[in-house]
Amino acid sequence: MSAETPVCQLLERQGTDYRGWLWVAPPRDAWLEHGEGRLLSADEAVLAAWRARGRPAHSPFEGVDPAPPGAVLFWPKSHALGEWWLLWLCAHLPPGTPLQLVGENQGGIKRVLKALAALGLGCRKLDSARRCGLYATRLDRVGIDPDEAWTTFEAAGIRLVSHPGVFGHGKLDDGTRLLLEQLPACLAQEPAAVGQVLDLGCGDGILAAWLARRGARVTAVDVGHFAVEATRRTLAANDLEGEVLASDVYTALGERRFDAIVSNPPFHQERAIDYGPAGRLILEAPDHLHPGGQLILVANAFLPYPDLLERAFGAFDILADDRRFRVYRAIKG
Ligand SMILES: C[S@@+](CC[C@H](N)C(=O)[O-])C[C@H]1O[C@@H](n2cnc3c(N)ncnc32)[C@H](O)[C@@H]1O
């Protein structure tokens, strides 16, 4: 099985014996998934793919093998999130554990030199090819608690807890704001009648918290474990209750149905046959709604969601359009 992604192709040509190593935040790649070692990832879709192959896979919120022979950190696009992973590895793995850091030049892998130097960790360049770089260091205790990366801010009267890598880190999205403006008119006025509502792609939990405050019995899901943790913390910070699950679109929900599904769905490059998570969210929504239940979502006005909504529901309304964003509502007959 050959490596598929440029970062894994760079790793594949190293002489390192990676048996038992921890792969931290990697992309989907068959070479890794058929190979050796354990996965540490905050992406539920990647975790599920490894578990489906019977491979050991954990999120950082579940703990990890305390002493792997080494770890490879795939540097994420968000530099702040890369720094968090670095602090987490320093705090959880034994000092002296070999760490390799790999990433694309475009994704800012060269910035790891500064990040490592700031923590007093040495750094050696191992290789570069396919527009990627590979660096090596050894972990050490650096005395900074990775939990310090959690931040809080206020928006729409809600105290939001966020983390690097979580959507909208530190501010309310304009699309979400437009969606929130439409929600009161869509939901029952009596809190007890709002019913069971699914927030799909919950991010920092802004919609889940708003809905719970309004009286909804909320289930919130996100593919990102940082988002799941952020939403749990947001609900707790506002003394609100709700169920929060890691889920790739509807996968963790089985056959469950709701009175409403509310979402600012993830933007995804449209491909010919696969519309990505947002396409699955819309096309499978009727299977997860009670009769009369509604899907309410906001999206960039240029996205081809009207076609998908028509295919899934037969008809839909546009509740708001500020030229950048549109809020759609479709009701299951
Ligand atoms: C545009 S953000 C909206 C976040 C939040 N609801 C808000 O309004 O600020 C979309 C969210 O969908 C999540 N997401 C992306 N792919 C997903 C998938 N396959 N299944 C579930 N959630 C997904 C992202 O992690 C992100 O938190």
**Domain containing residue 44: CATH number:** 3.40.50.150
- Pair 170, 317 in one domain: yes
The answer to whether residue 209 sits within a structural domain is yes
Residue in 54, 33, 140 with CA at minimum distance from that of residue 95:
140
> Which pLDDT score, from 0 to 100, does residue 227 have?
97
- Encode pLDDT of 38-72 as tens digits: 999 999 999 999 999 999 999 999 877 779 999 99
- Report the domain count for the chain: 2
Q: Which of 146, 178, 203 is the last residue of a domain?
A: 146
The full length of the chain comes to 333
**Can you tell me the distance from the alpha carbon of 96 to that of 99, in angstroms, rounded to the nearest whole number?**
9
Is 279 found in the same domain as 221?
A: yes
Please say if the pLDDT value at position 275 is more than 80: no
Q: Tell me what pLDDT residue 274 has.
A: 54
Question: pLDDT for 278-333, tens place per residue?
Answer: 999 999 999 999 999 999 999 999 888 999 999 999 999 999 999 999 999 999 99
In a domain, 1, yes or no: no
Ligand 1 pocket, Cβ-based, cut-off 6 angstroms: 167-168, 173, 176, 201-203, 206-207, 221-224, 227, 247-249, 264, 266, 277
- Kindly report the protein residue whose alpha carbon is nearest to atom 4 of ligand 1: 203
Name the more confident of 15 and 169. Answer: 15
Residues 207 and 256 in one domain: yes
What's the CA-to-centroid distance between 203 and ligand 1, angstroms? 5
- Ligand 1 atom nearest to CA at 176: 8
pLDDT the model gives residue 65: 72
Please check whether residues 38 and 104 belong to one and the same domain: yes
Distance CA 202, CA 207 (A): 7
Within this chain, do residues 319 and 183 fall inside the same structural domain, yes or no? Answer: yes
pTM of the model: 0.95
Task: State residue 271's pLDDT score.
Answer: 46
Q: ∠ CA(298), CA(262), CA(195), 5° rounding?
A: 150
pLDDT at 66: 77
pLDDT digits (tens, 9 = 90+) for 73-125: 999 999 999 999 999 999 999 999 999 999 999 999 999 999 999 999 999 99
The DSSP line for 225-239 is HHHHHHHHHHHHHTT
Tell me: do 67 and 121 sit in the same domain.
yes
Take atom 6 of ligand 1 and give the residue whose Cα is closest.
202
Look up the domain containing 11 and give its range: 6-146
Which of 119, 146, 173 represents a domain boundary (last residue)? 146
Pair 238, 322 in one domain: yes
